Amino acid sequence: MDLQLARHSAIITGGASGIGLATANAFASEGCSVAIWDLSPDVETIAAGIAKTHGVNAIGLKVDAVDLAAVQRAFELTLARFNTVEHVVHCAATGSKKFGFPFTNLEPADWPRTLEINIMGMVNIAHAATEAMMRAKQGTFVFLASVAGQIGSQTDPPYSASKAANINFAQCMAKDLARHGIRVNTVCPGMVQSPLNRSVWQAWHDQTPEAERLSYDAWAEQKIKTVVPLGRWQTADDIAAMIVFLSSEKTRQVTGQTINVDGGFVMHW
């Protein structure tokens, strides 16, 4: 499908791996220029690979989303390179890296870093990009949240709470920016094999009695069969396809929405 994104430009935070990288490739495959913002030391090399593979303009910038000044500088550099930025996708996030069931397994000190990255990172990105989009009277934001932000997932309460905040703030933004022609939506993955998902298993594994422990594959298969009606993993490419679709004119009437790509996970609840 031609999503008419050629000659557009997109910023993807957390774009050096996982869903962010899949999203960068999906935009590039549509002929869209991409700016990858990530803390990875390989971000420039990864961007160069995307440029070579898809024949598009691509840059990689090392950016910490919680550093507002760094985010603002990165946006200015990106705008100078591309002249316009039509699309912003925020994928950068973290979990507490501890097993949070029950929540008393955690201490209050386990919360701030996750909230800072997942909430204030989103806020910084929004503030850095919005003024230019308002001047252009067009643009899209897509924020990566999680089904954990809708169902109160107990495995990592700080992560779940932060993703609920992502969904809520995206709706606030959508209401504020609609009159400027800017659309804002949230995509919620379900079960994706990723470093973040594996860290949830690791936290569970480390605090579980040895006789009850499962390998990552066994734990994941059991969970998929239990909670996902379609009975299979979602992939990074599945999520990226929805993100890029929501960024296109095919969805010009869609804003303030939370779209689940979860194999029916939330329906199950």
Q: What is the pLDDT of residues 116-139, one digit of tens each?
A: 999 999 999 999 999 999 999 999
Residue 1 domain-assigned?
no
Map the chain to HEC letters.
CCCCCCCCEEEEECCCCHHHHHHHHHHHHCCCEEEEEECCCCHHHHHHHHHHHHCCCEEEEECCCCCHHHHHHHHHHHHHHHCCCCEEEECCCCCCCCCCCCHHHCCHHHCHHHHHHHHHHHHHHHHHHHHHHHHHCCEEEEEECCCHHHHCCCCCHHHHHHHHHHHHHHHHHHHHHHHHCEEEEEEEECCECCHHHHHHHHHHHHHCCHHHCCCHHHHHHHHHHHHCCCCCCECHHHHHHHHHHHCCHHHCCCCCCEEEECCCHHHHC
Residues 236-263, buried b or exposed e (16+ Cβ, 10 A)?
Answer: bebbbbbbbbbbbeebeebbbbbbbbbb
User: Which residues lie closer than 8 Å to 53 by C-beta, 6 or more apart?
Assistant: 25, 28
Residue 43 domain-assigned?
yes
pLDDT score at 220: 78
Residue 221 domain-assigned?
no
pLDDT tens readout for residues 166-211: 999 999 999 999 999 999 999 999 888 776 677 777 777 777 888 8
Look up the CATH number of the domain holding residue 167.
Answer: 3.40.50.720
103, pLDDT greater than 70 = yes
pLDDT score at 117: 96
Q: For residue 268, what pLDDT band results from cuts at 50, 70 and 90?
A: low
Query: How many domains are contained in the chain?
Result: 1
Q: What is the mean pLDDT of the chain?
A: 92
Residue 242 domain-assigned?
yes
Q: Which residues are catalytic?
A: 159
User: Which residues lie closer than 8 Å to 230 by C-beta, 6 or more apart?
Assistant: 263, 264
**Residue range 246-268: mean pLDDT, rounded:** 92
pLDDT score at 100: 63
Q: Which amino acid is at 180?
A: H
Name the pTM for this structure.
0.91
Residue 79 domain-assigned?
yes
Separation between Cα atoms, residue 1 and residue 226, nearest integer Å: 34
pLDDT score at 78: 98
pLDDT score at 191: 85
Residue 268 domain-assigned?
no
pLDDT score at 98: 76
140, pLDDT greater than 90 = yes
Give CA 241 to chain center in angstroms.
Answer: 13
Separation between Cα atoms, residue 55 and residue 57, nearest integer Å: 7
Q: Is 80 exposed, middle or buried (0-12, 13-18, 19+ CB in 10 A)?
A: exposed
Residue span of the structural domain in which 182 resides: 9-191+234-260
Residue 238 domain-assigned?
yes
pLDDT score at 222: 85
pLDDT score at 254: 98
Residue 128 domain-assigned?
yes
